[in-house]
Amino acid sequence: MIWRIEIKDKKGLFDSAGESVRKDILELGITSVKEVNVVQVYLLEGDISSSEIEKIASQLLVDQITQEYQIINSSDPYPQDSSSKSHRRVEIAYHAGVMDPVEESTLKGIRDLGINGVCSVRTARAYTIKGPLNSRELDTVVNKILSNKLIQQVVDGSPLRRKKAKFVAAGKNPKIDRKIVGQHFQLNIIDLIKAKDRQLKEISLQGQLFLNLAEMKAIQNHFKRIGRNPTDCELETIAQTWSEHCYHKTFRGQIRFQSRENGKVKTTLIKNLLKSTIVKATQTLNRPWCVSVFHDNAGVIAFDEETNITFKVETHNHPCALEPFGGANTGVGGVIRDSLGTGLGAKPICNTDIFCFACPDLPFSQLPAGTLHPRRIMKGVVSGVRDYGNKMGIPTVNGAIVFDDRFVGNPLVFCGNVGIIPKDKVTKKVHQGDLIVLVGGRTGRDGIHGATFSSGELTGESEVISSGAVQIGNPIEEKKVLDGLLQARDRGLYRAITDCGAGGLSSAVGEMAQDLGCRVDLEKVPLKYQGLQYAEIWISESQERMVLAVPPNNIDELLAVFQREDVEATVLGEFTDTHRLELFFLGCQVCDLDMEFLHQGIPLITKTAVWKPPQLKTPRVMESADLTAKLAKVLSHGNVCSKESVIRQYDHEVQGSSVIKPLVGIYTDGPSDASVLRPRLDTHKGIALANGINVRFGQIDPFWMAASCIDEAIRQIVAVGGDPRRIAILDNFCWGNPDKPDRLGSLVRAAQGCLKAALELGSPFISGKDSLYNEFTLGKKSIAIPGTLLISAIGIIDDVRRCVTMDFKAEGNIIYIVGETKAELGGSIYLETFEQLGQEVPQVNFKQAVKIFTAVHSAMEKGWIKSAHDCSEGGLGVALAEMAFSGGLGAQIDLSKVPYKSRERRNDWILFSESNSRFLVEVSENKQKEFEAAGGDIPLAAIGRITKNPECELRGLSGEVCVKARLSDLKEAWQRPLRW
Amino acid sequence: MSPNVNVIVLRTAGTNCNEETAYAFQYFGARVEQVHINDLTSGKQKLKNYHILALPGGFSYGDDIASGKILANELRLSLGQDLCQFIKEGKLVIGICNGFQILAKAGFLPRTPSQGDLKDLKQQVTLTYNDSGRFEDRWIHLRPEGRCVWTQGIDGVIYLPVAHGEGKFVPRDQNLLANLRKSGQIVFRYCTSDGKKPIYPENPNGSMDDVAGICDPTGRVFGLMPHPERHFRVIQHPFWTRLEKIDGLGDGARIFENGIHYIQSHFFKKLKLSTAGVSSSTQDDQ
């Protein structure tokens, strides 16, 4: 029997969900909708009496104070469908196979009522849209706001068909009866040995393996040697292990790099890009506080006597392009599992999330087919991050949003997580005989081919062929895993752990067993529903799962710990000493691979990379005498403007650790440079978190983009009080197709910039990740994203009570600029407001930068600095305005005092140059002498004073007023664009 | 040795403010245990062994269906009798954010004097979706009133953060609201920084009558949407860098201290007399 329960708000109450939809419809330019009401629909199936259904509805599903319900049974006449042109009703449900996020907990709630006959719960939402709407408009609303056809569908048809259709469509997900699963299964052997090149390519393409011909041939040769054909499962395992996503072929392979500069052509052979740049910087710096770098799921640095800090940033770009909420949701979930899978498991303490989107006001007419509108992507991504982070109870404390229209088909979503781990839990080692235990969520068809999918380019058809790669997370499942895991860790119940991420069990178990070998019985894996093939079980990327290596003696205690947290834990097999990956399904062997071939057999490919500086036009910009309007315009730029509407949706204070919040100042709405946390509630030791990202600099020279990003990330941490000698950094490269020499050339150039800047500034890399093939192909046209480097930085702060925020503190204090301003306007926001890129990208004077960071830090330690802000996008002008309105105090500034090195004496250049290594700092009059003396030979100058008058007044090089603006106007310009 | 105030911080799938809530009680000398509800329902742990029950913030069972709803039912159906007894014995209960949603939806708040027994408990108020339609984390001002043992001595406006998507207080009807006011069961209202009538975002969710926290008729069962454990120290204040004094306790600490003091003065009086001269370990640091 199927029951349908509809729940809606009582009359007279404000329907906030409906109102949000109405606003979204208005944003589409459809102005006729007056009101939207939302009805929550539950579909319950099972052996349930009418009194039981009444009880479920009244005691569980409805809020008696604000809502009312209606029960409809499949034999009742359905209430007349009241849809008309002025009154549309649309119902949206999930596709079969897509996890309904509320099913599990609703079933629990029903069982708690003492009702055990319900076997399935599915939900849907019905929207009543009031106001005239034609069919085309309705279609737009449904596709652009109410549903994503990858995971959802409109339920239509006559009332009776509607119910039936729903149940067929929504499907039921009966829990699996393991005896039935695959009793009759067929072992699939792929005829590889005899295949010709063309067939090899076809096998790779049809299997979505994304293996190139050389790789397919290496596999063919291997199987020729052992005299048999591979099973599908073996081929899938190799494809996953060798995928760009998992193996990082580009960074670890050979590159023939040709650089064409100043008419000279120089060719070098790079043996291993990662080792010769990123890793080399860390090895050379050899910092004693780097505990574990590059080899675990996250980098580990020392924190205090008892604990270390872990940090990892991942990307989840392709899934977010297709299903922004689910993509971002599982992106956050995935990087949290990286922390859980570092050492013997770190406790996650904060998240950081950085996004790159096309501009939110992009006209729909310019949207390539098969892509979602950037506004929709942004809202979905933010919601996905909010949902997972908030529900896991992990504060999201840092981030950035970059807008550039080349991200239209391929947004970037970086998700980072910081963890804390006891010093004695950092190392892990699997022993022969340890049991392989899978804990967490059940396995379904979710995310099949995610690892290989992200190693190819997106196309207009990606949304159709790769829909299996899309999934929705279940943060509460992961929270339960976390709760159980930390108890098991502290009791020493397991010897090693890793997360199931891209590649699923194949990647997790394959990695853990790399040096030993293993034997797994795939039918033991708990499934969400029946019908999965053994190979699907092996490579499924279902979320919220971890793999443990457990000594047999501890297994009972371990299983009991997880049982108490209502988490499934299952023994799948054991680690052996055979150096083989042996998989069985119902006693039949489905995979028998040599570990050495699997992990070392990939053929070394030499890629070609070419770098030549782009041909750029000299910027042509007329300088206005009055730069007030220009300052407002720069403040309104998407990259500069306030992100408050996003930040507030994230719980940035859970765990009680926040010291410097992302929003600071007297009105708690100013933009902090970095966030500071106290990971342990009983000490004042802290960490600071910041990031550097700038895609426009990379259009001029990726080398200086990399140096600038590192400089920016470090100076933001210094700006809040971090010690420049205790900063570790992470790299995330997101680039286009590395098989195209120009894309790879700029990637190499950026990596070289990373090496140079990290070495000179003294900040080691501790972890990183690359995501390549970020291109969107439509027909013959290929849109590559601008090569994007994200530098994430983490610093240790001995006493958070000495931290400084960026808001002006007191009238009369002196405003200094520290660092040198140059006519480096290339890639600046200022030039972008004229739609120009410019030529002179900001460089870094490394020796001077180190001196500046050291001087600013020591002045902060002495308490001389009352506020500090780094000058980055928008330059001095933006930094000054932000400090002023965040503190509710004005400023009088004389630009002629700014240390400025150029023959082009222009006020706009000084105001908006984005030269690196610069700070604005506030010093009280009585500390002026000490501060200046301590500066030594670094360029610094008093450029003005803080005033009570709520106004910024700037005088130019010849003494004339060039900016005069009220704080309220500057703030409005800064807040308005993303006040959603 | 002074006797311990025993605090149970109840957690389940999705609870996430348990650590910092436990810390706040520990700071004032309590012995705190964070207990999974499965251990209470299985009988492994007993509610009666504690003096204070704290229901911390989080997303119990994902807040699926509605915030706190599933745990509210579980609490009422599996532990309702024990909890009624707990309250009858004069012990204390505090629900913060998700904990408040749970107490309200299980009918333990606001409770009228006529609802003495478990069978009479009925949901009378709710915390529903914010008017803004979304989760918001922001700092708000609160004006104390009413008769609640948890807020004794808090006289002026205090400053705490809220972080929720479903915090709009809605009573069954206006009569109930009037009665709550009369009986001193409204404990906190949102207000402006100088204690005046707020508008959004000072009232961050559209709560009726700006209600942010309520208590039961005894004043011992207390629920509030804001997070006092997140302003436990001054250094958690959003602009502590502008303040003179940065060491010491923040506006929320007093609530936890009140709970501990209440138990000490109501449950340990006799013991205290017999061990005269031994001061409570919770008195320092003030």
Percent of chain A with pLDDT over 90: 79
Contact criterion met (CB < 8 Å) for B17 and A654: yes
Indicate the pLDDT class of residue B276, thresholds 50, 70 and 90.
very low
Return all residues near A284 (Cβ < 8 A) that are at least 6 apart: A759
Indicate the pLDDT class of residue A28, thresholds 50, 70 and 90.
confident
**Among B19, B38, B77, beta carbon nearest to A655:** B19
**Among A391, A655, A800, beta carbon nearest to B59:** A391
Q: How far is CA B113 from CA A688, B83, B180, in A?
A: 51, 16, 11
Return all residues near A453 (Cβ < 8 A) that are at least 6 apart: A208, A210, A318, A462, A466, A469
Strand-pairing partners, residue A616, are none
**Among A393, A566, A661, beta carbon nearest to B58:** A393
**Among B128, B134, B238, beta carbon nearest to A664:** B238
Summarize pLDDT for A471-490 with one digit per residue, the tens. Answer: 778 999 999 999 999 999 99
pLDDT for A83 beyond 90 = no
Q: Which residue of A has its CA nearest to B163?
A: A651
- Total-model pTM: 0.93
Summarize pLDDT for A675-709 with one digit per residue, the tens. Answer: 999 999 999 999 999 999 999 999 999 999 999 99
pLDDT, mean of residues A269-283? 96
- In chain A the first and final C-alpha atoms are separated, in Å, by 44
Q: Which of A857, A797, A793, A764 is nearest to A676 (CA)?
A: A797
User: Residue A772: CA atoms inside 13 Å, Cβ hemisphere, count?
Assistant: 19
**In A28-77, alpha helices (H):** 50-56
- Residue numbers of A annotated as active site: 245, 316
Residue B113: the pLDDT is 79
Contact criterion met (CB < 8 Å) for A566 and B38: yes
Contact A449, A498 (CB under 8 A): no
Residue A458: the pLDDT is 60
Can you give A105-168 as a three-state secondary structure string? HHHHHHHHCCCCCEEEEEEEEEEEEECCCCHHHHHHHHHHHHCCCCCEEEECCCHHHHHHHHHH
Q: Which residues of A touch B134 (CB under 8 A)?
A: 20, 649
Structure tokens at A775: 């291109």
CA–chain centroid gap for A846, Å, is: 30
pLDDT for A226 beyond 80 = yes
Domains along chain B with CATH numbers: 6-274 (3.40.50.880)
Contact criterion met (CB < 8 Å) for B170 and A65: yes
Contact A674, A815 (CB under 8 A): no
Q: Which of A816, A793, A792 is nearest to A929 (CA)?
A: A816
Cα Rg, chain A, nearest whole Å: 29
Computed over every residue of chain B, the mean pLDDT equals 92
Query: To the nearest whole angstrom, how far is the Cα of A350 from the nearest Cα of chain B?
Result: 13
Contact criterion met (CB < 8 Å) for B77 and A13: no
Contact criterion met (CB < 8 Å) for A16 and B57: no
Q: Which residues of A touch B136 (CB under 8 A)?
A: 648-649
Residue A78: the pLDDT is 52
pLDDT for A176 beyond 50 = no
Return d(Cα A55, Cα A3) in angstroms, integer: 13
At A265 the three-state DSSP class reads strand
Return all residues near A902 (Cβ < 8 A) that are at least 6 apart: A822, A823, A909
Whether the ω angle into residue B110 lies within 30 degrees of 0, i.e. cis, is yes
Return d(Cα A92, Cα A38) in angstroms, integer: 11
Q: Running DSSP on this structure, what letter comes out for residue A57?
A: I
CA–chain centroid gap for A628, Å, is: 36
pLDDT for B280 beyond 50 = no
Q: Which of A502, A23, A32 is nearest to A245 (CA)?
A: A502
| Helix A197-206 / helix A213-226 crossing angle, nearest 10 deg | 100
Q: Which residues of A touch B238 (CB under 8 A)?
A: 661, 663-664, 668
Task: Decide: residue A967, CB within 10 A, 0-12 exposed, 13-18 middle, 19+ buried.
Answer: buried
Return d(Cα A118, Cα A112) in angstroms, integer: 12
Query: To the nearest whole angstrom, how far is the Cα of B146 from the nearest Cα of chain A?
Result: 23
Domains along chain A with CATH numbers: 2-170 (3.30.1280.10)
pLDDT for A666 beyond 80 = yes
Can you give chain B as a three-state secondary structure string? CCCCCEEEEEECCCECCHHHHHHHHHHCCCEEEEEEHHHHHCCCCCHHHCCEEEECCECHHHHCCCCCHHHHHHHHHHHHHHHHHHHHCCCEEEEECHHHHHHHHHCCCCCCCCCCCHHHCCCCEEEECCCCCCCEEEEEEEEECCCCHHHCCCCCCEEEEEEECCCEEEECCHHHHHHHHHCCCEEEEEECCCCCCCCCCCCCCCCHHHEEEEECCCCCEEEECCCHHHHCEHHHCCCHHHCCCCCCECCCHHHHHHHHHHHHHHHCHHHHHHCCCCCCCCCCCC
Structure tokens at A586: 């119902």
Residue A88: the pLDDT is 86
Query: To the nearest whole angstrom, how far is the Cα of B254 from the nearest Cα of chain A?
Result: 16
Contact criterion met (CB < 8 Å) for B239 and A102: no
Contact criterion met (CB < 8 Å) for B139 and A681: no
Contact criterion met (CB < 8 Å) for A681 and B20: yes
**Cβ burial A513-529 (10 Å sphere, 16+ → b, else e):** bbebbbbbbbbbbbbbb
Summarize pLDDT for B161-171 with one digit per residue, the tens. Answer: 999 999 999 99
Q: Which residue of A has its CA nearest to B208?
A: A13
Contact criterion met (CB < 8 Å) for B64 and A648: no
Q: Which residues of B touch A665 (CB under 8 A)?
A: 239
Residue A322: the pLDDT is 87
Residue A470: the pLDDT is 67
Q: Which of A605, A837, A816, A731 is nearest to A280 (CA)?
A: A731
Contact criterion met (CB < 8 Å) for A805 and B241: yes
Strand-pairing partners, residue A771, are A734
Return d(Cα A340, Cα B175) in angstroms, integer: 51
Biggest alpha carbon–alpha carbon distance for chain A: 88
**Among A109, A651, A867, beta carbon nearest to B137:** A651
Query: To the nearest whole angstrom, how far is the Cα of B31 from the nearest Cα of chain A?
Result: 16
Query: To the nearest whole angstrom, how far is the Cα of B213 from the nearest Cα of chain A?
Result: 17
Number of A/B CB contacts below 8 angstroms equals 180
pLDDT, mean of residues A625-632? 97
Q: How many helices (H) and strands (E) does chain A have?
A: 33, 42
Query: To the nearest whole angstrom, how far is the Cα of A980 from the nearest Cα of chain B?
Result: 11
pLDDT for B221 beyond 60 = yes
Residue A776: the pLDDT is 82
**Among B69, B133, B137, beta carbon nearest to A19:** B133
Beta strands A290-292 and A299-302, pairing class: antiparallel
Q: Which residues of B touch A719 (CB under 8 A)?
A: none
Residue A874: the pLDDT is 97
Query: To the nearest whole angstrom, how far is the Cα of A941 from the nearest Cα of chain B?
Result: 24
Task: Decide: residue B1, CB within 10 A, 0-12 exposed, 13-18 middle, 19+ buried.
Answer: exposed
Contact criterion met (CB < 8 Å) for A112 and B123: no
Computed over every residue of chain A, the mean pLDDT equals 91
Percent of chain B with pLDDT over 90: 89
Higher pLDDT, A610 or B277: A610
Cα Rg, chain B, nearest whole Å: 18
Contact criterion met (CB < 8 Å) for B235 and A390: no
Query: To the nearest whole angstrom, how far is the Cα of B18 from the nearest Cα of chain A?
Result: 8
Q: How far is CA B172 from CA A959, B107, B122, B124, in A?
A: 67, 12, 11, 5
Report CA torsion sign: A888, A893, A899, A902: positive
The neighbour count for residue A175, using CB atoms within 10 Å, is 14
Return d(Cα A861, Cα A798) in angstroms, integer: 10
At A631 the three-state DSSP class reads helix
pLDDT for A298 beyond 60 = yes
Summarize pLDDT for A591-605 with one digit per residue, the tens. Answer: 999 999 999 999 988
Q: Which residue of A has its CA nearest to B14?
A: A476
**Among A59, A390, A647, beta carbon nearest to B73:** A59
Residue among B11, B27, B65 with most chain A CBs within 10 A, to mutate: B65
- Residue numbers of B annotated as active site: 97, 227, 229
Return d(Cα A449, Cα A539) in angstroms, integer: 7
**In A762-895, alpha helices (H):** 829-832, 846-861, 875-887
Beta strands A588-594 and A580-585, pairing class: antiparallel
pLDDT, mean of residues A357-375? 90
pLDDT, mean of residues A61-83? 78
Residue among B32, B192, B242 with most chain A CBs within 10 A, to mutate: B242
ipTM value > 0.90: yes
Return d(Cα A322, Cα A411) in angstroms, integer: 10
**Cβ burial B128-162 (10 Å sphere, 16+ → b, else e):** bbbbbbbbbbbbbbbbbebebbbbbebeebbbbbb
Contact criterion met (CB < 8 Å) for B126 and A66: yes
Residue ranges of E strands in A657-813: 658-660, 663-664, 670-671, 675-677, 686-693, 727-734, 765-771, 775-778, 781-784, 788-797
The neighbour count for residue A406, using CB atoms within 10 Å, is 18
Return d(Cα A676, Cα A608) in angstroms, integer: 43
What share of residues in chain A are helix, strand, coil (percent, to 5)? 35, 25, 35
pLDDT, mean of residues B60-78? 96
Contact criterion met (CB < 8 Å) for B77 and A112: yes
Least confident of A454-463, A745-754, A810-819, A849-858: A454-463
Residue among B98, B162, B235 with most chain A CBs within 10 A, to mutate: B235
Residue A980: the pLDDT is 86
Indicate the pLDDT class of residue B270, thresholds 50, 70 and 90.
low
pLDDT for A193 beyond 50 = yes
Q: Which residue of A has its CA nearest to B98?
A: A391
pLDDT, mean of residues A824-845? 97
Return d(Cα A825, Cα A111) in angstroms, integer: 65
Beta strands A496-499 and A545-550, pairing class: antiparallel
Structure tokens at A150: 């990858």
Contact B80, B37 (CB under 8 A): no
Return d(Cα A631, Cα A877) in angstroms, integer: 7
Report CA torsion sign: B252, B255, B256, B257: positive
